[in-house]
Amino acid sequence: MKRIIRLWILFTIVAACVMAIMLPVSNLMSARKSLPTASGNEQFDSLAPVLQTSCMDCHTPGLTVYPLYFKLPIANQIIRQDMESAQADFQMTRNQLSGKEPFSTLQMAKMEKVLDEGSMPPARYTFMHWDAIIPRSIKKQLLSWLKLHNPSSGIAAIPVDNPFAPDKQMVELGKRLFADKQLSADGTIACASCHSLNKGGTDRSKVSRGIHAQSGPINAPTVFNAAFNFVQFWDGRAADLQEQAAGPVNNPKEMGSNWSLVISRLKKEPSYVRAFQSAFNGAITDATICSAIASYEKTLLTPNSRFDKFLDGDKTKLSADEQSGYQLFTSKGCASCHTGFNLGGLSFEKMGQEQDYFAWRGSSSEADNGRFNVTHKESDRHKFKVPTLRNIALTYPYFHDGSTSDLKTAVRTMSRFQLGWKATDKECQQIAEFLKSQTGCLNGQQLK
Ligand code: HEC
Ligand code: HEC
Ligand code: HEC
């Protein structure tokens, strides 16, 4: 009896070994041809086949030729699950992998993070796919290519010359509308009530209060630099600033008004009629009102922070601690979500990427569902547009739930729930110090 068991164990071990060797070997033998590369950049063309072999299977939707092992029952299940969660998190197209289209700032920042930490391709995948392992020297080349084409992990100084160059007359009109309480039903609230230019473009409340002192469900983000966001609102339900401006006017908990009321009020004021005449040939409609407000918001950019000047080459602008904080911010992966001009505003990301934030915080609200409320896709639950970190010292309290006003606490929450990183007190302090260097200038005036 004992002998049979021993034989059986031996057989299982041998069978497992044969499988473990055969699968990768079959994989090598049936190696797929890599896509042709056409970037015209020699360095990328030499690296592209590596990315194709190591990343394409999981991160490129619409792959038509699946490798052999896909047909094996268990492997098929595992890889399908991997592909689904991989593509929900991060995608790259065949054209990008063959150099025909450029990667975005955000994609490059994310690739830098996973290559830096060595988490991709996942270990259990390389166990079966030896050819997908990225040798150290190639990884170094990939990282230096990324750093060259996406310096500072994609974080960039806000341009001093307004890139939107909005029409002057529309801006003047929009500025007046933004501050005008007539846009609310009872004439008590303007856009500026919740987005005060003296409070970092916010109301500094945990959640906003609309007409009749009604509390809203969510914290007000800043209007400063909102023009750089890829969509508007925490859940991205408005495509741009113009579409966004219609929201609060008609929201019963915010301005509680409607367009015919607002338009009839504006038509009664000769100075408005004249302003609409010069900006929009006299059309006073919901579309022109929103367009004027959006034009004004495109002037609410805040360049010339100490950090921008540092990025432009003046290394004296950040203290040693702030520079250490900046170093941690990029090397630990904060910049894989908080990148671009806005240090954010380029993607939806899950709040609680590494740990369940909502279970930890307790209680729950509809607003916590984030992007799910728009798409009703389970993979979008708890995803939010990444907020900008520009002027962060002024825009407290933080997070969609306004749960903390302490920047260091917010940094600790992020390090834990987004990166699974146990940052020390000193590290949190240094990052918070660095973030305070984000306060910029509005129309040449230093914000406070
Ligand atoms: C076996 C499938 C698989 C392969 C191959 C693979 N990934 Fe992933 N990748 C995943 C999965 C699954 C996730 C989802 C998050 C996780 O589980 O870590 C992910 C997540 C990511 C993310 C998002 C991480 C974040 O922090 O937001 C990036 C970026 C990424 N992969 C890049 C790459 C790159 C670059 C390669 C090639 C070097 C690669 N992946 C190869 C499965 C894969
Ligand atoms: C009662 C307070 C209140 C009023 C009034 C108000 N807002 Fe907001 N605003 C908010 C809140 C709260 C949010 C976030 C809502 C959400 O994401 O679901 C927001 C979001 C925004 C955003 C999106 C920013 C981003 O990063 O996504 C912009 C832009 C904005 N408001 C501009 C305006 C304009 C223009 C007006 C006037 C027409 C206005 N707001 C009136 C509270 C207010
Ligand atoms: C996986 C993407 C991701 C990473 C990595 C990440 N963040 Fe965030 N960050 C977010 C999202 C999403 C929010 C909004 C969460 C919410 O409101 O519930 C946010 C919010 C914040 C806020 C609050 C901003 C505001 O105005 O409310 C700060 C501060 C912040 N992050 C700093 C950091 C720092 C520092 C790091 C690195 C330690 C980091 N983040 C890493 C996605 C990320």
Distance CA 310, CA 225 (A): 19
Distance CA 72, CA 65 (A): 15
What is the third-level CATH fold of 168-297? Cytochrome Bc1 Complex; Chain D, domain 2 (1.10.760)
Ligand 3 pocket check: which of 339, 386, 400 to mutate, most ligand atoms within 8 Å of Cβ? 386
Q: Ligand 3 centre from 323 Cα, in Å?
A: 19
The pLDDT, as a whole number, for residue 190 is 97
Query: Of 130 and 233, which is predicted with more confidence?
Result: 233
Query: Of 134 and 28, which is predicted with more confidence?
Result: 134
Distance CA 343, CA 211 (A): 32
Nearest Cα residue to atom 9 of ligand 2: 220
User: Is residue 333 predicted with pLDDT exceeding 90?
Assistant: yes
CA 191 to chain centre: 25
The pLDDT, as a whole number, for residue 69 is 67
Q: What is the average pLDDT across 267-293? A: 97
Q: What percent of the chain has pLDDT over 90?
A: 78
Query: Could you list the active site residues?
Result: 254
Q: What is the average pLDDT across 404-430? A: 98
Q: What is the average pLDDT across 274-280? A: 97
CA 41 to chain centre: 28
The Cα-based distances of 394 to 210, 245, 322, 391 in angstroms read 21, 23, 17, 6
Residue 47 and residue 135 in contact, taking contact as beta carbons nearer than 8 Å: no
Smallest-distance ligand from the CA of 228 = 2
Q: Which residues, other chains included, contact 150 with Cβ-Cβ below 8 Å and sequence gap of 6+?
A: 103, 105, 108, 109, 112
Mean per-residue pLDDT of the chain: 92
Rg for the chain (alpha carbons), in Å?
26
Q: Per-residue pLDDT tens for 147-172? A: 999 999 999 999 999 999 999 999 99
Atom from ligand 1 closest to the CA of residue 111: 29
Q: What is the average pLDDT across 94-113? A: 94
Distance CA 415, CA 429 (A): 12
The pLDDT-based confidence of 131 (bands split at 50, 70, 90) is confident
Q: Ligand 3 centre from 108 Cα, in Å?
A: 18
On the question of a common fold for 168-297 and 306-446, the answer reads yes
Residue 193 and residue 178 in contact, taking contact as beta carbons nearer than 8 Å: no
| C-alpha triplet 31, 35, 41: angle, nearest 5° | 130
Each domain of the chain, given as residue ranges in start order, spans: 1-27, 31-149, 168-297, 306-446
The Cα-based distances of 376 to 81, 174, 237, 382 in angstroms read 20, 34, 12, 11
Question: Is residue 120 in contact with ligand 1, taking CB distance under 6 Å?
Answer: yes
User: Is residue 248 predicted with pLDDT exceeding 70?
Assistant: yes
Q: Ligand 1 centre from 333 Cα, in Å?
A: 14
Q: Ligand 3 centre from 109 Cα, in Å?
A: 15
Distance CA 340, CA 227 (A): 13
Nearest Cα residue to atom 38 of ligand 3: 415
User: Is residue 15 predicted with pLDDT exceeding 70?
Assistant: no
Q: What is the average pLDDT across 69-91? A: 82
Nearest Cα residue to atom 36 of ligand 2: 191
The pLDDT-based confidence of 65 (bands split at 50, 70, 90) is low
Q: Per-residue pLDDT tens for 253-274? A: 999 999 999 999 999 999 999 9
CA 142 to chain centre: 23
- Neighbour tally for 366: CB within 10 Å: 10
Smallest-distance ligand from the CA of 219 = 2
- CATH superfamily of the 306-446 domain: Cytochrome c-like domain (1.10.760.10)
The pLDDT, as a whole number, for residue 36 is 81
Q: What is the average pLDDT across 86-105? A: 92
User: Is residue 144 predicted with pLDDT exceeding 60?
Assistant: yes
The pLDDT-based confidence of 231 (bands split at 50, 70, 90) is very high
The pLDDT-based confidence of 388 (bands split at 50, 70, 90) is very high
